[in-house]
Amino acid sequence: MEYTPPPLFNRGPTPLVRLFLCALVSLGLLIADARYQYLDNIRQAVSVVVYPLQRLAGTPGAIFDRIGDFFVTQARLREDNARLAEQNLKNAVQLRQFEALTAENAHLRDLLAARQRIAAGTTAAEVLYTGRDPFTRRVIIDKGLQADLKAGQPVIDELGVIGQVTRVYPWLSEVTLITDKEQVVPVQNLRNGLRAVLGGTGNDGELELKFIPLNADFKPGDRLITSGIDGVYPPGLPVGEVTNVERNAAYLFARIACKPVAGVASHAQVLVVNWENKIPERPPQAEKSAGGKKRRGS
């Protein structure tokens, strides 16, 4: 005859066993996410559950802003209006010139049988909040799959590039700012056309030109624009400005500190650029010579 204890004090597996199981699941998720990026579907499913909470959490701030907007003083409105009218006038003149130049440029490119530049469409979005993860520089914007955003699209404000869409949820997207440590933007120097790669440092308002030889012609005050050769950022968008150049013969590369042009840390409205560059296929022999160990996806 077998006796089993009555299930009065049955508490299931011991905490240690449960911890082991949980740790195993978490580690599995971590590795699958960090190493193989398998989990986008699960992430999106969970995001549907979390989304209402995220919106709810943003509501008090939004209401406060709206009330603040309502009680804006008339003096400030008039001031704003005058300033904007003046700005508009200035812009209008430049716009006329720009239109003329665009037409001329297209015509010249036609004559030279060069590839036409593609005009980029934009989607306006609003920054909901800055990412709370202290290890990265990210913001969350209020457009996602519903607005046809895709991972990889550049994000700009009225002054220049602020970052790139890195993860798209059904109603939200995550934008990695150019100041993030792992974010790079291919740029060129507006003054002399030198190409370079601009990377973030992980600190707000600090960028760094990477792998620039000591003798390269960069000076403080140089303006950096996107070069467009990556096929991700449309060419000609302002990105940053060189603030300090440090040439030390002890190092292989010059240390060139830059600061972003756009309000990377402080912004409410942004534009997501919808720009698909159809680059012709790489010639096969170039692929072969550049291949070998490391082949990077486009």
Partner 1 sequence: MLQSETRPQTILLPVKPVFIILTLVAALLINLLPWSGWLLAIKPDFVALVLLCWCVQQPRRVGFTSAMLLGLAMDVADGSLFGQHALAYSMLAFAALVLHRRVLGFTVKDQILHVIPLLLANDLIILLIRKFAGADFPGVSYFAGSFIAGALWPAIFYLLKLPQVPKTDPDHV
- Classified as helix, coil or strand, 65 is helix
Q: Exactly one of 28, 121, 205, 236 binds partner 1 (CB under 8 A); which one?
A: 28
Question: By C-beta, is 141 or 187 nearer to partner 1?
Answer: 141
The answer to whether 174 and 166 have CB atoms below 8 angstroms apart is yes
Beta-strand (E) ranges in 61-213?
121-130, 138-141, 154-156, 161-168, 173-177, 184-189, 195-200, 207-213
Give the position of tokens 């140089």: 222
Determine, following the binding rule CB under 8 A, whether residue 138 of this chain makes contact with partner 1: yes
Looking at residue 261, the DSSP 8-state letter turns out to be S
Instruction: Kindly tell me which of 25 and 77 has the beta carbon lying closer to partner 1.
Output: 25
In the range 60-119, which residues lie near partner 1 by CB under 8 A? 60-61
Tell me the C-alpha distance between 88 and 298, whole Å: 39
Pairwise CA distance, residues 95 & 101, whole Å = 9
Show contacts with partner 1 in window 182-201 (CB under 8 A).
182
214 interacts with partner 1 by CB under 8 A: no
The answer to whether the CB of 179 falls within 8 A of the CB of 240 is: no
Among 122, 123, 129, 147, binds partner 1 (CB under 8 A): 129
Residue 202 within binding range of partner 1, rule CB under 8 A? yes
- If binding is defined by CB under 8 A, does position 18 make contact with partner 1? yes
Radius of gyration of the chain (CA): 25
Mask for 44-63, x = binds partner 1 (CB under 8 A): --xx-xx--xx-xxx-xx--
Q: Please report how close the Cβ of residue 168 comes to partner 1 at its closest, in angstroms.
A: 11
Amino acid at 208: E
Determine which residue in the list 132, 278, 288, 296 makes contact with partner 1, applying CB under 8 A: 132
Interface residues with partner 1 (CB under 8 A) are 11, 15-16, 18-19, 21-23, 25-30, 32-34, 39, 42-43, 46-47, 49-50, 53-54, 56-58, 60-61, 128-136, 138, 140, 167, 174, 181-182, 202
